[in-house]
Amino acid sequence: MNTTPTNEPDRILVVGRSPSVLVATVDILRAKGYTADATNQFDRVLDDYDVTDLDVLVFGGMVPADTKQYLREEVSKRNPQVSFVQGLAGIAGVIAAQVEAANSDERRGPDGAEIAYDVVRRCVQLALKEPARVSVEALWVTSFMPPEPESTSTRVFEGNPEAGFHVIPLPERVPLEASFITVAVDDLVRVFTVGAMPNAVTRMVPTSANDKRLPEVGKVTTSSNDH
């Protein structure tokens, strides 16, 4: 899938917690042609980054609700055109695909492909009006232990199907919780939740910026000048 912008690269900032996930997400996005940075210094976002130049601001799942609300309000004041994306999981590939999905919506034509996920049958459904380049990947969390979640992935499908209706089943090894699929049809990207995050994980989310229930992590503040 070619997601490299044609003019100026889209500028992405990921605000999250896990150092390894943040760094990996930046690496993926930069490799795809975006100007991407990430930070887990929530109180330094407005000082460390020029938010007037942002296209997309992504929030990780462990960012406290009051912090997200404050940053939404302040960034929107400075940059009314910015888009906000709520990360589905601490998986770099999922977060990067969500950014691509947000951007591909703007490029989608009226006669584009239709992409759906059948929860009951656990399969991807594609309605293609013409032959297309298709890639389907499943990703899921393998360890929820803070401070660094771990995950794995598997390529479900990669090929160039003809126009028509296609069904792509998920393999049984994709678990029923904390699992996701990314679907790319040419430049159109979609991300679907296969299995929701367990309650034990969602209860870890800090209730406020002063909530210290999670262990300390190493500081991350990347600069696109390093790229």
For residue 25, the model assigns a pLDDT of 97
CA distance 203 to 213: 10
Overall size of the chain counted in residues: 227
Q: Read off the pLDDT band of 200 (50, 70, 90).
A: confident
Residue of 55, 90, 51, 89 whose CA lies nearest to 71: 51
CA distance 94 to 18: 14
> Is the peptide bond between 215 and the residue preceding it cis, with omega within 30 degrees of 0?
no
Contacts of 73 (CB under 8 A, 6+ apart): none
**What's the mean pLDDT in 200-226?**
83
pLDDT averaged over every residue in the chain: 90
Percent of the chain with pLDDT over 90: 76
Q: 């160039």: which residue's tokens?
A: 160
**What's the mean pLDDT in 12-38?**
96
The tokens of 149 are what? 């979640």
Beta strands in the chain (DSSP E): 11-15, 35-39, 56-59, 83-86, 114-118, 123-128, 134-143, 150-159, 164-169, 179-185, 188-195
For residue 162, the model assigns a pLDDT of 96
> Using one digit for the tens of pLDDT, what is the confidence trace for 69-107?
999 999 999 999 999 999 999 999 999 999 999 988 654
Residue 109 has pLDDT above 80, yes or no: no
Give the bridge partners for 179, in sequence order: 140, 195
CA distance 183 to 135: 6
How much is the pTM? 0.89
For residue 6, the model assigns a pLDDT of 46
> Using one digit for the tens of pLDDT, what is the confidence trace for 113-171?
899 999 999 999 999 999 999 999 999 999 887 668 899 999 999 999 999 999 999 99
Residue 2 has pLDDT above 50, yes or no: no
Residue type, position 89, single letter: A
The tokens of 172 are what? 């049984």
| Sign of the Cα pseudo-torsion (92, 38, 69, 77, in order) | negative
Q: Read off the pLDDT band of 204 (50, 70, 90).
A: confident
**What's the mean pLDDT in 5-24?**
86
